[in-house]
Amino acid sequence: MAKSGSILISVRAPVGTTNRADQDYCIGRGLGAVFAKPGVADDDFLLYAIEANLEFLHRRSQGSTFIAIGSKELSSLPLPAPGFSVQRRIAEILSTQDEAIEQTEALIAKYRQIKAGLMHDLFTRGVTPDGHLRPTREQAPDIYKESPLGWIPKEWQCELLDDLATRGSGHTPNKNIPEYWNGGVKWISLADSYRLDRLYIADTEYEISQLGIQNSSAVVHPAGTVVLSRDAGIGKSAITTESMAVSQHFMCWRCDGRLNRHFLYYWLQFKKRMFENIAMGRTILTIGLPYFKKLRISAPKDVEEQKMIGDRLLKADEEISSLEADLEKKKQQKLGLMQDLLTGHVRVNV
């Protein structure tokens, strides 16, 4: 039984995950419950102290087939024990930092929602030459027209993506020939999935060589190429910052004079759910080449409007990235505070 206010600790994989019981709970074998002795330990301090010493539990849980810890390991967890008033002051300082972290996380979530709404408006209404959103179709039906992709502004076109950009793909050189690898040519593979959806991709897990390119169907694509995963991580995309090759798990497009690369990147992001749905229900989650040969895109005929749309979304991403950097800074500050305060390296005034 875990009483309200108890600290809940996962004692099975993932060992050490913590939370606070907001009411009385009946807990299973995968959780342990710890509560502070009144007047001896502060509840909040105890939670921070446990979080700061989780490495102890991780070491005790390693080496077994089923990763877990028992009550013996949990009760032997070494914790700092300053005076009660000092504990409360330390907890107040760390709680203040946690509040700052939570506020920044809430701001990031808010800005992501704003960006999602902005994407919908920009890709269904577009912008006028003065940078304002067009009226909706309900407000001004005469400025819209029907297309294979639905209603679009009359100044827009609905074309095969292949007619507006040059499509390409890639290949994997023979992995059994060392000379084909580590040759300085950055090569985007499924191992780089976590690097996608961040606008640009500047680095890759693996590199191939010119010899590997010459002896496979791999191709070096120029900087500014827009890439899209069509297998694991379907729908993830990015723009290359330099010349790179890709594996056969990716489609890529080189944008010339008729299509702005940032517009295309954000349009692919906007259609990500569509790509995911195309692959659903298949034994192997992938999208075949025939689909991309027939893929249509709705875009302004005027490349300047495309650029304006891309720039608006770039600015939204920059705001989110700035908040994410601030969030990471606050998290690092909290780690530093925990290290200083919970070890006694820095004393607090009570």
Identify the domain boundary among 15, 50, 81.
Answer: 81
Range of the domain at 36: 1-81
Cβ atoms of residues 41 and 16 within 8 Å? no
Report residue 243: phi and psi, to 5°.
-60, 130
pLDDT tens track for 252-303 = 999 989 999 999 999 999 999 999 988 765 666 789 999 999 999 999 999 9
The pLDDT of residue 13 is above 90? no
Contacts of residue 46, Cβ cutoff 8 Å, sequence gap at least 6: 7, 34, 36, 79
Domain identity same for 245 and 314: no
Location of structure tokens 């999935």: 193
Total number of residues shown for the chain: 350
Task: Give the CATH number for residue 275.
Answer: 3.90.220.20
Confidence of residue 65 (pLDDT cuts 50, 70, 90): low
Identify the domain boundary among 47, 62, 81.
Answer: 81
Report the alpha-carbon distance of residue 80 to residue 331 in Å, rounded: 21
Domain identity same for 187 and 214: yes
Domain identity same for 227 and 265: yes
Q: What is the mean pLDDT of residues 199-205?
A: 98
Q: Exposure string (b/e) for 12-46, b if CB count within 10 Å is 16 or more? A: beebbeeeebeeeeeeeeebbebebeeeebbbbbb
Domain identity same for 138 and 198: no
Report residue 333: phi and psi, to 5°.
-60, -40
Domain identity same for 180 and 252: yes
8 vs 113, higher pLDDT: 113
Instruction: Tell me what pLDDT residue 280 has.
Output: 67
Task: Classify 259 as helix, strand or coil.
Answer: coil
Instruction: Tell me what pLDDT residue 312 has.
Output: 98
**Which pTM value belongs to this model?**
0.88
